[in-house]
Chains A and B, each alone.
Chain A
Amino acid sequence: DTEVTQTPKHLVMGMTNKKSLKCEQHMGHRAMYWYKQKAKKPPELMFVYSYEKLSINESVPSRFSPECPNSSLLNLHLHALQPEDSALYLCASSQGGGWLGNSPLHFGNGTRLTVT
């Protein structure tokens, strides 16, 4: 059982649509992450929130907009995506606000996004 819950599991959207990915954890973790993973590749970091503040943005295009309403929730708002944005989007959390060594990442099952 995963302790990080992502919805939806699958999403198909057109290039003009607006959609949101949701992530929730109830482990009391204070850092939450969005990763993008293309097939047969490792995950690529997109955003990190620490204590509900955006701490890392890996130069992600503005058509991806993260939001952290509270310490348990993380959203990724999608608008005007391109077909090359099709990928698995993984959410993760970690206990502390930094140092992954002491508090490893816990991942969700991901949302499989297809942009048509």
Chain B
Amino acid sequence: AQTVTQSQPEMSVQEAETVTLSCTYDTSENNYYLFWYKQPPSRQMILVIRQEAYKQQNATENRFSVNFQKAAKSFSLKISDSQLGDTAMYFCASPDVQGAQKLVFGQGTRLTINP
């Protein structure tokens, strides 16, 4: 089974800066996926980016990229050129076990982008 840990309850940066959110996990699975979800004040959970453990290359989606360190079991999210609309709760998540329908979430990081 997975465990997911986010050690930064809150972060705050200025607009246009780069920010990195940390996530560590622990698993006994051979293959697994990792996700970052964003939850703005509108409340909808939005998938930001996902990474398959078998893939060496770090996933990238526009301004969002991950630093996936499989040996260290680390999955950090980097937001470049941050925008006011990036203000949200960010959750790191992974399926509980391979093939599972249950996501295990970290405790979340509240990110504030200041003008």
Contacts and interface: CB of A to CB of B under 8 A. Distances in A.
Does A associate with B in a complex?
yes
Interface string B82-115: 0000000101010100111111011110100000
A111 to B, nearest CB: 9
A31 B50 CA distance: 19
Contacts of A61: none
Interface size class of A (residues with CB under 8 A): 20 to 34
B99 A99 contact: yes
Contacts of A112: 43
Contact of A42 (B43, B46, B106): B106
Contacts, number: 68
20 contacts: A40-B89, A40-B108, A42-B106, A42-B107, A43-B91, A48-B101, A50-B101, A55-B101, A56-B101, A90-B43, A92-B45, A98-B100, A99-B99, A99-B100, A100-B33, A101-B33, A101-B95, A104-B50, A105-B103, A107-B46
Closest 7 CB pairs of A and B: A101-B33, A42-B105, A107-B45, A110-B43, A100-B95, A109-B44, A48-B101
